[in-house]
Amino acid sequence: MSFTFITAGESHGPSLTIIVTGMPAGVRLDRERMNCDLARRQHGYGRGGRMKIEHDEIEIVGGVRGGETLGSPVAVSIRNADFANWAGAMSVWDVDEAEATKRRVHAPRPGHVDLIGGMKYARRDLRDVLERASARETASRVAAGALAKELLRAFGIEIRSGVVSVGDAGDPEAAVTWEELCAVDEESPLRAVHRAHEPAMIAAVDRARELGETLGGTIVAAAHGVPIGLGSYVQWNEKLDGRLAQAILSIHAVKAMAIGDGVAASRRVGSEVHDAIFFD
């Protein structure tokens, strides 16, 4: 059975729940390393205030014994540290009417799925929609990804990423080396690949914040040590590019993805295109 995962849980509900299937037996897990991934998600210049409240932690409740996977599905729970303040409005069984009214969302927010979700699932309080549609769901994916990375690590495969542009600062088409990605400073405000661009990026975030705006940007991610032959050309839904694309473009607010040279490749002749694969 291939590695996959499924997630559940509302943003202000009691917890997020993740079940990962297809994890082989005998993989040793490092709790600290996995929690670091969750912490990195909560870090970043310009993030909302909520990130200061939560300190997400992976709680494994199935599929692992003594730090080693058993071959059975791995169940992960991430408790909502702020649930006490939401229990009245978000209780599974006994919602407090006054609390629920206070938290009620009448007006669908532009750029969100509030209106569509309310229509599709017949919800009058749009909180019923936005609680699940919230980007907090990405914490579940980070947990699943952290498990995947423990497995990859056993094969010497590493994943790295960094930010190359924010608004008009930086260069969205920057050529990036593996060494540059490894050198990204985890403690830096924006995890910029090119530190020289970071002050301009921070200024761009500050300007957007003053305007009450959000701001786009570009991330580069790469894998190192990947063996030949992942994915397959034999069937459309086994192609690695397509599977990566689904994973990435299903993340909230991600609106474009490129493999290798990607966007720039559209302007080039074949011999000048750099593929996603480098042989050192």
Count of residues in contact with a second copy, rule CB under 8 A: 107
242 binds a second copy (CB under 8 A): yes
Interface with a second copy by CB under 8 A: which range of 44-52, 183-191, 193-201, 205-213?
Answer: 205-213
Query: Which range, of 37-45, 47-55, 174-182, 240-248, touches a second copy by CB under 8 A?
Result: 240-248
225 lines the binding site for a second copy (CB under 8 A): no
Asked if 139 contacts 38 with a C-beta cutoff of 8 angstroms, the reply is: yes
Q: Which of 40, 47, 71, 177 binds a second copy (CB under 8 A)?
A: 71
- Say how far apart CA 51 and CA 42 lie, in whole Å: 5
**90 near a second copy, rule: CB under 8 A:** yes
- 167-186 residues in contact with a second copy (CB under 8 A) are 167-168, 172
Give the residue among 41, 242, 69, 255 at the shortest CA–CA distance from 145: 41
Q: Is 103 in the site for a second copy (CB under 8 A)?
A: no
Near a second copy by CB under 8 A: residue from 35, 46, 51, 75: 75
Q: How far is the CB of 272 from a second copy (least distance, A)?
A: 8
Does 121 interact with a second copy (rule: CB under 8 A)?
A: yes
Is residue 245 close enough to count as binding a second copy by CB under 8 A?
yes
Q: What whole-number distance in Å separates Cα of residue 191 and Cα of residue 146? A: 19
End-to-end C-alpha distance for the chain, whole angstroms? 32
Q: Does 51 participate in binding a second copy (rule CB under 8 A)?
A: no
Cα distances from 172 to residues 37, 54, 137, 248, in angstroms, run 24, 31, 26, 17
231: helix, strand or coil: coil
Segment (H or E) for 33:
helix 31-42
Q: Please give the Cα distance from 252 to 49 (Å, whole number).
A: 18
268 part of the interface to a second copy, by CB under 8 A: yes
- From candidates 57, 108, 123, 178, binder to a second copy by CB under 8 A: 123
Q: How far is the CB of 196 from a second copy (least distance, A)?
A: 18
Name the burial class of residue 55, with classes exposed (0-12), middle (13-18) and buried (19+) by CB atoms within 10 angstroms of its CB.
exposed
